[in-house]
Amino acid sequence: MVGAGGREHALCWSLAASPLVRELFCAPGSDAIAREATCVPLAVDDLDGITALCREQQIDLVVPGPELPLVLGLADRLHAAGIKVAGPSAAAARLEGSKAFAKAFCARHGIPTAAARTFSWREHDAARDCVREHGAPIVVKADGLAAGKGVTVAADVEAGLDALEQAFGGAFGSAGETVVIEECLQGEEASLFALVDGRNVLPFGTAQDHKRVGEGDRGPNTGGMGAYAPAPCMTPALTERAMAEIIRPTIAGLAADGCPYRGVLYAGLMLTQDGPKLLEYNVRLGDPEAQVLLVRLMSDLGQLLLGVADGVLDHMDLRWYDDAALCVVLATQGYPGAYVKGSEIRGLDEATRLEGVTIFHAATRLEQHRVIATGGRVLSVTGQAPTLREARDRAYGAVDRIDWPEGFCRRDIGWRALDQTPR
Ligand code: AMP
């Protein structure tokens, strides 16, 4: 496993339960992941170090958690070294690594998405004209990886022009040298996941998340304050439509373009009046979506990911528990702005013992048996139960047992699916 966050903790937790997994290493991992895996202090972008570790330990399968090593070419390096990997090549990872590439790809392969135009910093004036002519609302996106901060949904032209100045002014480094300007789609958002082995596709569930920091989905964007699965709005018919119109043409298109996709493909969708449209591709599981997907997975994740690497998904199917899952993220006060690291979290043992509760750690370390927060998003408290409402109650029951005055969470995760009005 490559990574260190809540997603990777959930992946390690799931993989450690696989009868196929004899030994699990995680680079770099964390104190929480160390309960499931042997952690090795290598950064996720240390491609040389990770490849050398795999040779040394005769690793059979590598599972990259985050997008960065994939975009940098980790899968290509491992592949060249004869090591199996459940993640896409750098060429296929451009689906996430470059929004301009993804847009051109969608246009070429007839995949429904927001109408868009792409501009480099040399075309700043033309980009400004585009925003003014189109008018608001309008969406401005930095082309490259910007840790979830590169997208502005502008309610007026001024905000759209500001977003352009920011990107071209260097706010996102080289990721903002090119921008995509696109129409603002209306509808409900949902995420659709698929396992892909180059040719074959297995649907891997649906989820919805809450990106904004504040209740009622207000305030600045974050990496994700909570999620639930399955997404009730993704009916079987709608899921099949999105598979047929978006996921399968994507896989076929990449294969036709000479860069077949292997790994988890995550499509962020807008359910518009004209049907599902693609908002973005991710080339990995989401965080906290991984947490809610994986607690529901009955099948052996190890076997499935080997199937991805070996190109044999056509011989596999997968099973889910009937339960719903809901995850509440506990974050350090101040996040996504400035915050102070190093506060102590108490009560985790008691919270973990509750029925139907699993707590994944995104950013903690152990200091003489004390759990210390080391980041913005710190814990993913995940409840599972026969209904989404009960899953929510279990998650918040656990949250309420956790004693961490320096932390906070949203109290309305799942509102759209449960109450239809924010609390
Ligand atoms: P992305 O990283 O492209 O998914 O964008 C992050 C968020 O911005 C999405 O989850 C949406 O809420 C919003 N967004 C992105 N593109 C659009 C669009 N074309 N129309 C409306 N909202 C969008």
State pLDDT tens for residues 275-294. Answer: 999 999 999 999 999 999 99
Between 88 and 151, the more confident residue is 88
Q: What is the pLDDT of residue 378?
A: 98
Q: Which amino acid is at 335?
A: Y
Cα of 389 vs centre of ligand 1, distance in Å, is 27
Q: Give me ligand 1 centre to Cα 151, in Å.
A: 7
- Best probe residue, ligand 1, of 113, 189, 280, 289 (max atoms within 8 Å of C-beta): 280
Q: Identify the pLDDT of residue 221.
A: 87
Q: Which helix (H) or strand (E) segment is 361 a member of?
A: strand 357-361
Q: Is the CB of 182 under 6 A from ligand 1?
A: yes
For the chain, the farthest-separated pair of C-alpha atoms sits apart, in whole angstroms, at 60
pLDDT in tens, 211-264: 999 999 999 889 999 999 999 999 999 999 999 999 999 999 999 999 999 999
Cα–Cα distances in Å, from 378 out to 5, 130, 224, 381? Answer: 9, 40, 11, 10
* pTM exceeding the 0.75 threshold for the entire prediction: yes
Q: How far is the CA of 247 from the centre of ligand 1 (A)?
A: 18
- Pick from 75-89, 156-170, 269-283: least confident: 156-170
Q: How far is the CA of 64 from the centre of ligand 1 (A)?
A: 24
- 12 in contact with ligand 1, CB cutoff 6 A: no
Cα(230) to centroid(ligand 1), Å: 20
| Residue 388 neighbours by CB distance under 10 Å | 21
- Interval 170-179 mean pLDDT: 92
Query: How is residue 372 written in tokens?
Result: 């210390």
Residue 388, H or E segment: helix 388-401
Taking residue 93's Cβ as centre, other Cβ atoms within 10 Å add up to: 31
279 lines ligand 1 (CB under 6 A): yes
Which tokens go with 134? Answer: 């189109």
Amino acid at 213: V
Mean pLDDT of the chain, nearest integer: 96
Phi and psi based region of residue 342 (left: phi greater than 0; alpha: psi -120 to 50; beta: remaining): left
Q: Which helix (H) or strand (E) holds 68?
A: helix 67-72
188-192: average pLDDT: 96
- For residues 79 and 251, give the distance between their C-alpha atoms in angstroms, rounded to a whole number: 19
Whether ligand 1 lies within 6 angstroms of the CB of 151 is answered as: yes
CB burial of residue 186 (10 Å; 0-12, 13-18, 19+): exposed
Provide the CA 293 distance to its chain's centre, in angstroms: 11
Confidence of residue 149 (pLDDT cuts 50, 70, 90): confident
Give residue 12 CA to ligand 1 midpoint distance, Å. 29
Which residue's alpha carbon is at the smallest distance from atom 3 of ligand 1? 280
> Closest Cα to residue 186, out of 274, 125, 56?
274
Question: Using a 6 Å cutoff on CB, does residue 185 contact ligand 1?
Answer: yes
268 Cβ closer than 6 Å to some ligand 1 atom: yes
Long-range contacts of 151-156 (CB under 8 A, 24+ apart): 151/221, 153/184
Are 352 and 359 in contact by the 8 Å Cβ rule? The answer is yes
**Ligand 1 pocket, residue 153 CB under 6 Å:** yes
Ligand 1 centre to CA of 150 (Å) is 10
